[in-house]
């Protein structure tokens, strides 16, 4: 195992020089820390941790970074927000609402938006980052699902991730309810009706949460502490656990040349991956900042303060609550009345449905392992096409969710496209039953088709686009085999779960040495690279000659 000198294809980068001097300031700092904490071994291990590089692994990163952005901007907002439902008359600089009676929460939101320098941009960055947080977590979950990354040994992290998404929903709802404007107040009114719809304990639970009959005077203050302390605290702890498990179990990896279940390959965290990830954090923040400045979001001053007698048409929640709004719109008016008691129709689409959905999602890794009798540990991912049943189930879930989400805005769709509102509702009800099985069937067939195409290329080779005229007049296309062939010209390579090259220019070494790609044009021209390589070889030959003559 002792291999002091690097591999033959790894010429030393810096030459035989020693530039980590113990007498320099960094050297002394390192010594100071080591003498007190004794962490140099563990630190080196973590600095050398290997991260695989694949675009789909960035979704979780976006979620982590938007959480950091949320904490930064949210802290700014707490300095100015007043979570009180006490009534005040507004006399700030937004003249159209001058003299209007409103809660202090709404008035301080106006204060942040108009009278605090930079307050509006912070509010808007915070809101955009929240939408991005939920979106990236959702897409990250899709990635983990479709590639089978949730399989043993990572079931716990799947559950933690699901917990993060659930808490993210609560956190987002609590957050956008705080301004106490007409839109969010309507959302709270519906939330109260949902709590109240629970059989047996409904009205007790509603009075417990709101402290009185709706709206009461407590709810904004309570949501505030839930939003800035309770849920973020739990989120931070769960994110820590999510990361700790990831470090302990290491990343999953796609199958490919040299990839095994026992190893992970990519770049070391320090310095390459760390620099890339750090840069990516800045890029995510840049997108949120630009959106926060340029794209208006939740202009509460246009909605006005909450008032139980008013509502604006086209009132939608933030996107991640939209699927529940959709389910509420689609569910028929089935009320159960038994022995002088009532179970309102609201109970099923808003309490039972999300309960069932999240339970199913949490149980999925265990159900799949049980049904497929798969007890092995898996570190290599699966391509979605290779597991058509799972991919079909995922497509089914996404179709179900998509119908609910679209139905959450069915009034806007009806208005924009001049469709009857009732037709939209009925369309949604039918689509909710028809679209998921259809999505399953389509996804399943696509998976099989892609599988077959992979096998076909492995067997017959890549289409070269070269047409040949045979002596008998027949035209055939010449195929380039991917590897050794048998006597009939059929490829001997077996499918191994890795991507199969399907174009001629995908053949060969996928990482051409020394090529540095730019955004629009290569940073280095081919000729340049070849000249350098020749110069390097000459140097090497000269060095060898010297060694021989010495």
Partner 1 sequence: MSGTASDNAANGLTAEEVAKLSTEEAMIVGAEIDDVFIVHRRERFPIAGTKAEKRAERAVAAMFGIGFLAAVAFIVVFCGAVPYEWHLPGQGSQSFHYFTPLLGLTLGISLGAIGIGTVLWAKWLLPEEEVVQDRHDRPKDPAQQMLTAATIVQGFHDTGIARRSMLKGTLGLAGGALAVVPLVALVGAMIKKPNRGPGQSLFHTLWGSGVAVVDADGKRIGPDDILPGGIMTVFPGVPGGVAAGDSPTLLIRLRPGQAVKARKGQASYQWGDFVAYSKICTHAGCPASLYEQQTGRLLCPCHQSQFQVLEDAKPVFGPATRSLPKLPLGVEVVNGTQYFVAKGDYPEPVGPAFWERP
Q: Where are the alpha helices (DSSP H) in 295-352?
A: 300-303, 322-330, 347
Q: Rule CB under 8 A: is residue 359 a binding residue for partner 1?
A: no
Q: Rule CB under 8 A: is residue 331 a binding residue for partner 1?
A: yes
Site for partner 1 in 434-473 (CB under 8 A): none
Q: Could you tell me the smallest distance in angstroms from the CB atom of residue 54 to partner 1?
A: 14
Q: Rounded to an integer, what distance in angstroms lies between the CA atom of residue 197 and that of residue 212?
A: 16
Q: Judge whether 428 and 407 are in contact, CB under 8 Å.
A: yes
Instruction: Tell me the number of residues near partner 1 by CB under 8 A.
Output: 142
Q: Could you tell me the smallest distance in angstroms from the CB atom of residue 95 to partner 1?
A: 5
| C-alpha angle 122-128-133 in degrees, rounded to nearest 5 | 120
Please give the structure tokens belonging to residue 444. Answer: 């399943």
The stretch among 329-337, 398-406, 452-460, 470-478 that binds partner 1 (CB under 8 A) is: 329-337
Q: Could you tell me the smallest distance in angstroms from the CB atom of residue 469 to partner 1?
A: 45
Q: How far is CA 5 from the centre of its chain?
A: 41
Which residues make Cβ contacts (< 8 Å) with residue 43, sequence separation at least 6?
A: none
Site for partner 1 in 373-392 (CB under 8 A): 377, 379
Q: Could you tell me the smallest distance in angstroms from the CB atom of residue 184 to partner 1?
A: 13
Q: Judge whether 197 and 346 are in contact, CB under 8 Å.
A: yes
Q: Could you tell me the smallest distance in angstroms from the CB atom of residue 419 to partner 1?
A: 13
Q: Rounded to an integer, what distance in angstroms lies between the CA atom of residue 478 and that of residue 463?
A: 7
Residue 9 DSSP SS3: coil
Q: Rule CB under 8 A: is residue 75 a binding residue for partner 1?
A: no
Q: Rule CB under 8 A: is residue 198 a binding residue for partner 1?
A: yes
Q: Rule CB under 8 A: is residue 525 a binding residue for partner 1?
A: yes
Listing DSSP states for 74-131 in one string gives HHHHHTT------EEE--SS-GGGTT-EEEHHHHHHHHHHHTSTTHHHHHHHHHHHHH
Residue with smaller CB distance to partner 1, 51 or 440: 51
Q: Quick one: which of 516, 520, 548, 549 contacts partner 1 (CB under 8 A)? A: 516
Q: Rule CB under 8 A: is residue 488 a binding residue for partner 1?
A: no
Q: Rule CB under 8 A: is residue 416 a binding residue for partner 1?
A: no
Residue with smaller CB distance to partner 1, 197 or 391: 197
Site for partner 1 in 33-52 (CB under 8 A): 41-42, 44-45, 48-50
Q: Rule CB under 8 A: is residue 147 a binding residue for partner 1?
A: no
Q: Quick one: which of 29, 78, 91, 342 contacts partner 1 (CB under 8 A)? A: 342
Residue with smaller CB distance to partner 1, 181 or 454: 181
Instruction: Count CB-CB contacts under 10 A for residue 378.
Output: 16
Please state at what angle helix 231-249 crosses helix 155-177, rounded to 10 degrees: 160
Longest dimension (CA), the chain: 105
Q: How far is CA 111 from the centre of its chain?
A: 33
Residue with smaller CB distance to partner 1, 172 or 428: 428
Residue with smaller CB distance to partner 1, 29 or 93: 93
Site for partner 1 in 226-255 (CB under 8 A): 249-250
Q: Could you tell me the smallest distance in angstroms from the CB atom of residue 121 to partner 1?
A: 4
Residue with smaller CB distance to partner 1, 206 or 458: 206
Residue with smaller CB distance to partner 1, 124 or 147: 124
Q: Rule CB under 8 A: is residue 58 a binding residue for partner 1?
A: no
As a whole number of Å, the end-to-end CA separation of the chain is 31
Listing DSSP states for 461-523 in one string gives -EEEEEEEE-TTS-EEEEEE-SS-B-TTS-B-PPP-SSPPP-SGGG-S-SS-TT----SSS-S
Q: Rounded to an integer, what distance in angstroms lies between the CA atom of residue 437 and that of residue 395?
A: 9
Residue with smaller CB distance to partner 1, 95 or 367: 95
Q: Quick one: which of 74, 148, 161, 215 contacts partner 1 (CB under 8 A)? A: 215
Residue with smaller CB distance to partner 1, 190 or 399: 190
Site string for partner 1, 170-189 (x = CB under 8 A): ----------------x--x
Running DSSP on this structure, what letter comes out for residue 313?
S
Please give the structure tokens belonging to residue 419. Answer: 């469709």
**Size of the chain, expressed as the number of residues it contains:** 550
Q: Rule CB under 8 A: is residue 79 a binding residue for partner 1?
A: no
Q: Rule CB under 8 A: is residue 212 a binding residue for partner 1?
A: yes
What pairs with residue 50 in β-bridges? Answer: 268
Q: Quick one: which of 38, 240, 332, 449 contacts partner 1 (CB under 8 A)? A: 332
Q: Rounded to an integer, what distance in angstroms lies between the CA atom of residue 365 and that of residue 141?
A: 13
Query: What sign does the CA torsion over 187, 192, 196, 198 have?
Result: positive
Q: Rounded to an integer, what distance in angstroms lies between the CA atom of residue 359 and that of residue 355?
A: 6
Residue with smaller CB distance to partner 1, 283 or 442: 283
Q: Judge whether 242 and 160 are in contact, CB under 8 Å.
A: yes
Q: Rule CB under 8 A: is residue 166 a binding residue for partner 1?
A: no
Q: Rule CB under 8 A: is residue 267 a binding residue for partner 1?
A: yes
Q: Rule CB under 8 A: is residue 417 a binding residue for partner 1?
A: no
Site for partner 1 in 282-321 (CB under 8 A): 282-287, 289-294, 308-315
Q: Kindly report the backbone phi and psi dihedral angles of residue 338, in degrees, each rounded to the nearest multiple of 5, phi listed first.
A: -135, 130
Q: Rule CB under 8 A: is residue 13 a binding residue for partner 1?
A: yes
Q: Could you tell me the smallest distance in angstroms from the CB atom of residue 310 to partner 1?
A: 6
Residue with smaller CB distance to partner 1, 171 or 192: 192
Which residues make Cβ contacts (< 8 Å) with residue 186, sequence separation at least 6?
A: 306, 311, 315
Q: Rule CB under 8 A: is residue 120 a binding residue for partner 1?
A: yes
Residue with smaller CB distance to partner 1, 136 or 328: 328
Q: Kindly report the backbone phi and psi dihedral angles of residue 493, in degrees, each rounded to the nearest multiple of 5, phi listed first.
A: -70, 140
Q: Rule CB under 8 A: is residue 492 a binding residue for partner 1?
A: no
Residue with smaller CB distance to partner 1, 286 or 438: 286
Q: Rule CB under 8 A: is residue 272 a binding residue for partner 1?
A: yes
Residue with smaller CB distance to partner 1, 56 or 425: 425
């Amino acid at each position: 195992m002792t291999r002091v000198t690097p591999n033959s294809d790894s010429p030393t980068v810096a030459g035989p020089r020693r530039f980590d001097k113990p007498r320099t300031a960094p050297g002394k700092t390192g010594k100071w820390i080591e003498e007190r904490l004794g962490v140099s071994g563990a630190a080196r291990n973590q600095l050398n941790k290997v991260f695989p590089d694949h675009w789909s692994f960035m979704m979780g990163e976006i979620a982590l970074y938007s959480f950091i952005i949320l904490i930064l901007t949210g802290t700014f907002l707490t300095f100015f927000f007043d979570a009180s439902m006490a009534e005040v008359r507004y006399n700030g600089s937004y003249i159209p609402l001058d003299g209007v009676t409103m809660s202090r929460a709404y008035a301080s939101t106006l204060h942040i938006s108009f009278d605090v320098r930079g307050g509006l941009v912070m509010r808007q960055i915070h809101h955009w980052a929240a939408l991005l947080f939920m979106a990236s977590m959702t897409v990250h979950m899709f990635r983990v699902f479709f590639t089978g990354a949730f399989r043993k040994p990572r079931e716990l992290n799947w559950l933690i991730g699901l917990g993060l998404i659930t808490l993210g929903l609560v956190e987002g709802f609590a957050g956008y309810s705080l301004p106490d404007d007409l839109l969010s107040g309507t959302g709270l009114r519906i939330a109260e009706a949902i709590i109240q719809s629970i059989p047996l304990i409904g009205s007790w639970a509603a009075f417990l949460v709101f402290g009185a009959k709706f709206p009461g005077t407590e709810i904004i203050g309570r949501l505030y502490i839930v939003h800035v302390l309770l849920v973020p605290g739990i989120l931070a702890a769960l994110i820590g656990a999510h990361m700790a498990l990831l470090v302990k179990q290491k990343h999953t990896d796609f199958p490919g040349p040299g990839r095994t279940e026992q190893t992970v390959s990519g770049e070391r965290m320090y310095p390459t991956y760390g620099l890339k990830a750090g840069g990516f954090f800045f890029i995510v923040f840049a997108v949120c900042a630009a959106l926060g400045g340029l794209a208006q979001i939740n202009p509460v001053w246009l909605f006005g303060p909450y008032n139980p007698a008013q509502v604006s048409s086209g009132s939608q929640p933030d996107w991640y609550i939209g699927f529940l709004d959709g389910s509420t719109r689609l569910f028929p008016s089935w009320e159960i009345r038994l022995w002088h008691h009532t179970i309102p129709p609201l109970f099923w689409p808003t309490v039972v449905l999300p309960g069932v959905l999240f339970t199913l999602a949490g149980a999925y890794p265990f159900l799949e392992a049980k049904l497929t009798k798969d007890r092995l540990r898996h570190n290599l991912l699966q391509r979605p096409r290779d597991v058509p049943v799972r991919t079909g189930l995922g497509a089914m879930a996404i179709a179900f969710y998509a119908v609910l989400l679209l139905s959450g805005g069915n009034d806007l769709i009806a208005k924009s496209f001049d469709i009857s509102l009732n037709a939209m509702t009925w369309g949604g009800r039918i689509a909710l039953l028809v679209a998921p099985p259809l999505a399953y069937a389509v996804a399943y067939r696509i998976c099989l088709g892609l599988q077959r195409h992979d096998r076909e290329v492995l067997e017959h080779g890549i289409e070269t686009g070269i047409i040949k005229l045979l002596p008998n007049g027949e035209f055939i296309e010449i195929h380039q085999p991917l590897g050794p062939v048998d006597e009939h010209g059929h490829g001997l390579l077996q499918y191994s779960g890795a991507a199969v090259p399907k174009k001629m220019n995908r053949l060969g070494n996928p990482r051409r040495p020394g090529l540095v790609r730019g955004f629009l044009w290569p940073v280095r021209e081919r000729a340049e690279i070849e000249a350098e390589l020749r110069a390097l070889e000459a140097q090497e030959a000269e060095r060898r000659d010297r060694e021989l003559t010495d």
